[in-house]
Structures are given as structure tokens and as C-alpha cells.
Structure 1
Amino acid sequence: MDDKILTQILDIAFQKKVSDIHFEVDNPPFFRARGQFLRSKLPKLSPGDTEFITRQILAHNGKSLGEDLKEFDTSFSLPSGARFRVSIFRQKGCFGIVMRLIPPHIGTFDELNLPPVLGEIVQAPNGLILVTGPTGNGKSTTLASMVRFINENFSYNLITIEDPIEFLFPSQKSCIIQREVGNDTDSFNSALRAALRMDPDVILVGEMRDRETIDACIKAAETGHLVFSSLHTQGAVSTINRIIGHFPPEGQEIIRHRLADILVATVSLRLIKDKTGESILPVVEVMRTTTTIQACIRDGRLDEIEKHIENGRSQYQMQTLDQHLLQLCRQDLITVEAAKRITPSTDFERQLIFTSE
């Protein structure tokens, strides 16, 4: 492995629109394309190969390899314009690297097949908007699309706090400040405290990883700012439970009340192959915090929320995961088999037959 070969591999991945590249010892590079995990025909990698790649990535970020490095998240870019989010880790004493391609173009809601109601949600004057879903299901891309909408339509001071910085935003109508944890700030929490002194209108926190960051995001929303963030949860109810669960039992009632007051919406994503197998579509649950849902959060009646989402489709443009899957099936965009792999429902086919749009 040398610099030329590494650049060639990454440039080809960029041109072929591969989503992820894996470099691991005793295996050739693996690629993920259109959801499929593919073994390349390149030679197997040695410990020296993956250490070389690690050193190149660290040097790109002004860092050197230390003996204490166990895992490290960062970004990497090529002269061609290709940018990657990088996860470096050790396995069995050797380095492994997973590189996720950051698309060069930030899509609009329409281009990404996201619900148009997101354009209304991001216009909230303040509060907390959460984008959730499993790893690799479009959270960062959706957040970037939201920032694009704001940047094109509103004159705001927008601060992002990311680990690492992924999409690059040129300031348009809005002034955008992007800070990277590790390089520009020590932590999400310290950057959030500093952001409140930087005259923000909108703050984007890449991920709410711990109680301190969650509490800081809630405080920022309570003080009149619009805050965006993400969580690795699979729906509105699990998102609310996850946030509340970060706090001790004696403080959970207070957190329910605070969250009910500032939560604007949750947008939960899963990706699914279309019927051709050539494209990926988002399946999106949208919950907007109506007064009824606020009451459910305050009272701890979270098991009622999904039914309120379902019933709020026509008036509030909310939708459950199943409602969107049913819509995609009726539009003949996805197969029932693909939908059944995602839905938690045990009677999806029955819903498809007996329910209408």
C-alpha cells in the first residue's frame, strides 16, 4: 500500500458512488454500494497496510500515531473533492479503518424523497428537532438537507458542532459556523456552552451522546434557540424513552415536562431498496409535538403516541413507519417482502389489503 494506491481506491469509490469502504487486515478492501456489502478483487491487506492508511489519515488532520490510539473518528478529503467520514479502530492488535463517503451534493427534500412537511418543521422559531435512526440510514444527510433549506431561505446565524465535520456549508442567506470536536473544541458540551455566547439563531449538534449534551441541548432550546440533533433510536417513542432514561429516576418527571415543552418534532429514518434494486429510498416516521402528544410526554403515556401520529396524518402531515411503507407499496416503489423486513408490525400484509391511504 502506498499513497498513490490509496488515492486510486478512494477516487474509484467516489466515482462509483460507493457509500462505505472497509480496510481490515487479512481481507481485501470491502465496499458497500446500494446497500450491498461487496468483497473487492484487490490483494489482502497486511498490518503494515492498515497502519499506513491510519498514518495518512492522521497526518491529513495534523496528528501523529500514538501507542494509546484505540479508536478515533475524523474526516479525510482528496484533491478531487471527495470527502469521507473516517472511523479508525484496533482489532486483534492491528488497525482497521471504515470510511464513509460524504456526498458532494447536499440534496433538497424533494431530491432525497423526504416528506415536504420537513420544510414546515424547520421553520419553528425555537425548540428541539431530532433526526433518528440506525447507523447508516440517512440521519446526517437529512440534517444537511434541513441546514440547506434554512441557509437558502432565512437570514440566521447557524452554528454546527460535529464529530467530525461532514458536509461543508457555504454561507448563503445564513451565516454558518462549523466547529469540529477534537480540532475546534474539546467536547459537544463545551461547544454548546460557548455557542450560547455566539449570538446563535440555530444550533446543530451532530449527536446527543450523553446526559450532559442532552441537557445542554434542552437548555439551548429552552432559552429560545432552534436546536437540531440526532440519536441512534428507531422511532419517536424510543427516542423519548432514550432521552428520559439518561437521567436518574428522581429527575425523570422533570425531564418529561421540559421535553414536552421544547420538542418540536422527531424524524425517524430507515433506508429500503426500491423495486428495481438499483436505488435506495427513505422510509420516514414523522412526529410533530401537538398539544395531545405534549400531554402524553408529560404524563408518561408514551404508548399512546403512535396512535396519535397515525391519526395526525391529514391535519399535521405526520406519519408512522407503517403508513409510509404502505404508501410506498401502493405506489409500487418497493416490494412487500422488503417492507416486512423493516416493519415491526406482524400484520403488515393485512393492513395493505384492508386499509386505504
Structure 2
Amino acid sequence: MSTNNLELLSLEELLKNAQTQKATEVHISIRNFPYYRCQGILQVSSNSVIDDFTFWHWAKTIFSVEEIQQIKSGNPARRFYQYSFANLSVSAFLILQGAAMTIKFLPMDIPTVDKLGISQISTNISKYSDGLILITGVTGSGKTTTLTSIVNDINQRNVKNIFILEEGITYSYPKSKSLIYHWEIGTHIPNFEQGVLTAIENHADIIVINEIKDRSTFDMALRAAKRGVLVIASMHSSDVISTIQELLTFYSSQEQDFIHLNLANHLQAIVSQRLVTTLDAEYKRTAIFDLLFTNEQVRNYILAGKIQDLSTLMQAGKEDGMSTMKSELESLLTSGRISEDTFTKTLQKITS
């Protein structure tokens, strides 16, 4: 393909071509060929080198005039964008050769809680009308998918006023019973704090935060929970114990009584997950969970600072919907769904 032909090719056509090759990402930069990532492997496309004119012509189909100026001034921009055939996460930034865009294909459909095997977890969470629900996991654990599936389950079964705040949109929610306001931080609202305040002022029933990374965001989540809003938020942490410990580090030693009291009063549940490779023909990976649902005993343990001892309550709290990753991993081994090797390696990760 000649450079002239590439200039005439629209970004939409390029992306359709990438999609036919089952690409998950497209990398575009000035003075370079377009690259596709297919099955995790980056490969050069058959298109010609992208010149300056073509790059900025394509960028203008995604970004506003103000965002184009932002990119050209050296400040990266990110945008969720939709075609009829694809949902996209697009980021653009300057490089030595000029500028570049990374375009990620996002899922078109939200997996159901039944498909993910979390229908009971979702049912338990949907019983709450206020307080704080935390969905946690390490990078690549599937926590965003779990959070989105649970929120969409609520959307399909209840009439709620739901405000969703994300730094980068991953899923687009379908119209159903609930009223959904979906904001991308930096595009529709300046920051999480302003988003939470606006949601509270507009009588939110549920606020979704993806994700809590610092004290200021968590303080706003607590503020909403205290106002009678159900806050469902994600965090980057590996299990229930480390999640609470991470929250405690946001506060000084003089504030520990304050945060223990607030967690005891307003934390409703923590769902921590990790993906495990299975022997199943249909599902190659499944999630195992740490599940903590707050009851009087859990509250007393949090107030007393007995965070490490919460695992004992989780092991004994099956009737309250609680569980541990270790017990779920053992069940997978007993049922023949995972290999001995997978069991041993995963057990080392969750107990180290």
C-alpha cells in the first residue's frame, strides 16, 4: 500500500482491518508503520509509514480541538471512543519522532454475573443500600470486570441513580432499569473528588469509583458512605487483609482510631480476587475469592485492630457469604479443575 493510499484510508477502516486480524491493540506513530498486537504479540501491519498529516487527521477524529492542542503541548490525552463495531480506549502523546497513539479494543458486552460465577456475591452486595463495598485484586486479576458485572447486574434488576467515575472507561453500560451517569476523569469531570461531590448533590443511590489510589479519593468515598450512598470501588490490593492494611497506611498514627472506627461503621464488604489457570476446556481461567461481609464480630475485630485475625472469621463465615482464597483453591483441586502444579504455585502466592 502506498503512502498516498494510507492517507486516504480512514482510521475507522484501519481499525476494522486490525479487528479482522483479531488485534487487541493498534499502535500508531509518525514516521512508522502501524503495529497490531495479536494474541499478545506485537506485529507490523502491511500498511505504509504514517506521515504527519495522516496522523493528525486521524487524531482529530477522536480528540477535540482542545485535546489536540493539549497533546501538541506535551500533555498526553486519553479518550473513550465508540464505533458501531468497537469500543476503544485511545491515548495520544508526543515522542521524539513526533507523536503516537495507542488504541485498545475494549469489550463490547459486559459479562453476566452468572457467566463469571459471582451471582451469589452480586446478590449479597445488592442487599446493601449504603456503606462501602471494595472490589480488589492485583493487575490482571479481573477486578474491573467483576465490578462492572456486579454494577450492571444491579442496573438490570433495580431502579437506581448510579454515578460511575473512572480514569479510563473500559465498558459501556447498556440502558436498563437504572439511570446511569458515566464519567471519565479528565474528560467529563476534573477529578474523583468533584465527581463524588456532584454525585452526592444529585441524589446518587450508588457511586462507583474505579479505582481508589490515594487518601483523598478514599476520604470522598467515606464521605459519600456516611451520607447514605452505596459506594462500590476497586482497589489494587491482593487480598482482604492487605486491602485494609493499605487503607490504614493512608492515615497517620494519630488518626488510626478515627479510620478504624469509620471502617467498622461503614465498610460493608471486601471482595478480593485472583485468577487461576484451570483444566477446563471452555473456561481457561477462573477466579478465587477472599470474601468479607461485615457483621458485628467483624466490626469488633476492626475496632480492636485485629486485622490479621479477620481471616479466621472469613473461614468460619460461610453462612454469611464469606470465604478465603485458600479454601476456594483447595475446592478447585479436589474437584479436579486445576492441576497440582497450579495449586502449589498459587498457594505460595496467596500465603507468602
Distance change (3 Å), C-alpha of 1:273 and 1:4 = farther
**Alignment-derived partner of residue 288 in structure 2:** 283
Are 2:37 and 1:31 aligned?
A: yes
Are 2:109 and 1:83 aligned?
A: no
Q: Structure 1: which 5+ residue stretches go unaligned? A: 349-357
Distance change (3 Å), C-alpha of 1:205 and 1:55 = farther
Q: Deviation of residue 271 (structure 1)?
A: 2.1
SS at match of 2:338: coil
Q: Is the 8 Å Cα contact of residues 25 and 103 (structure 2) preserved in structure 1?
A: yes
**Alignment-derived partner of residue 62 in structure 2:** 60
**Alignment-derived partner of residue 261 in structure 1:** 265
**Alignment-derived partner of residue 197 in structure 1:** 201
Q: Is the 8 Å Cα contact of residues 24 and 45 (structure 1) preserved in structure 2?
A: no
The partner residue of 1:40 within 43, 46, 57 is: 43
**Alignment-derived partner of residue 3 in structure 2:** none
Distance change (3 Å), C-alpha of 1:15 and 1:217 = farther
Amino acid at match of 1:295: N
Query: Bigger shift: 183-192 or 95-104?
Result: 95-104
Are 2:136 and 1:169 aligned?
A: no
Distance change (3 Å), C-alpha of 1:332 and 1:188 = same
SS at match of 1:207: strand
Q: Structure 2: which 5+ residue stretches go unaligned? A: 1-5
Are 2:148 and 1:138 aligned?
A: no
Name the count of aligned residue pairs.
Answer: 342
Q: Deviation of residue 101 (structure 1)?
A: 3.2
Distance change (3 Å), C-alpha of 1:264 and 1:54 = farther
What value does the CA root-mean-square deviation take over the aligned residues?
A: 3.3
Percent of aligned pairs with the same residue?
24
Q: Is the 8 Å Cα contact of residues 47 and 95 (structure 1) preserved in structure 2?
A: no
Instruction: Map residues 207-218 of structure 1 onto 2, 5 A cutoff.
Output: 207-218=211-222
Are 2:305 and 1:300 aligned?
A: yes
Distance change (3 Å), C-alpha of 1:347 and 1:137 = closer
Of structures 1 and 2, the larger Rg is shown by 2
Q: 1: distance between equivalents of 2:285 and 2:176? A: 30
Instruction: Map residues 298-337 of structure 1 onto 2, 5 A cutoff.
Output: 298-312=303-317, 314-337=318-341
Q: Deviation of residue 232 (structure 1)?
A: 0.7
Distance change (3 Å), C-alpha of 1:121 and 1:95 = same
**Alignment-derived partner of residue 223 in structure 2:** 219
Query: Bigger shift: 176-185 or 71-80?
Result: 71-80
Q: 2: distance between equivalents of 1:54 and 1:295? A: 59
SS at match of 1:303: coil
Q: Is the 8 Å Cα contact of residues 55 and 64 (structure 1) preserved in structure 2?
A: no
SS at match of 1:132: strand
Q: 1: distance between equivalents of 2:324 and 2:112? A: 22
Q: 1: distance between equivalents of 2:54 and 2:122? A: 43
Distance change (3 Å), C-alpha of 1:104 and 1:346 = closer
Q: 2: distance between equivalents of 1:339 and 1:54? A: 50
Q: 1: distance between equivalents of 2:328 and 2:339? A: 13
Distance change (3 Å), C-alpha of 1:301 and 1:347 = closer
Q: Deviation per CA, 1:29-73: give whole Å up to 9, x if none.
A: 46364xxx3243537997969x97687457513120534435444
Amino acid at match of 1:160: I
Distance change (3 Å), C-alpha of 1:10 and 1:326 = farther
Q: Deviation per CA, 1:107-140: give whole Å up to 9, x if none.
A: 2211122252322122212111111112232222
Q: Is the 8 Å Cα contact of residues 202 and 227 (structure 1) preserved in structure 2?
A: yes
Q: Is the 8 Å Cα contact of residues 224 and 231 (structure 2) preserved in structure 1?
A: yes
Q: 1: distance between equivalents of 2:345 and 2:8? A: 41
Q: 1: distance between equivalents of 2:113 and 2:187? A: 31
Query: Bigger shift: 92-101 or 203-212?
Result: 92-101
Distance change (3 Å), C-alpha of 1:93 and 1:343 = farther
Q: 2: distance between equivalents of 1:295 and 1:204? A: 27
Q: 1: distance between equivalents of 2:236 and 2:47? A: 33
Q: 2: distance between equivalents of 1:281 and 1:250? A: 41
Instruction: Map residues 238-253 of structure 1 onto 2, 5 A cutoff.
Output: 238-253=242-257
Question: Structure 1 length normalisation: TM-score?
Answer: 0.82
Q: Deviation per CA, 1:229-278: give whole Å up to 9, x if none.
A: 11111111111111121122211220111011111111112223322597
Q: Is the 8 Å Cα contact of residues 81 and 89 (structure 2) preserved in structure 1?
A: yes
The partner residue of 1:110 within 114, 127, 134 is: 114
Q: 1: distance between equivalents of 2:16 and 2:201? A: 41
Q: Is the 8 Å Cα contact of residues 207 and 231 (structure 1) preserved in structure 2?
A: yes
Q: 2: distance between equivalents of 1:342 and 1:96? A: 38
Amino acid at match of 1:287: L
Question: Structure 2 length normalisation: TM-score?
Answer: 0.83
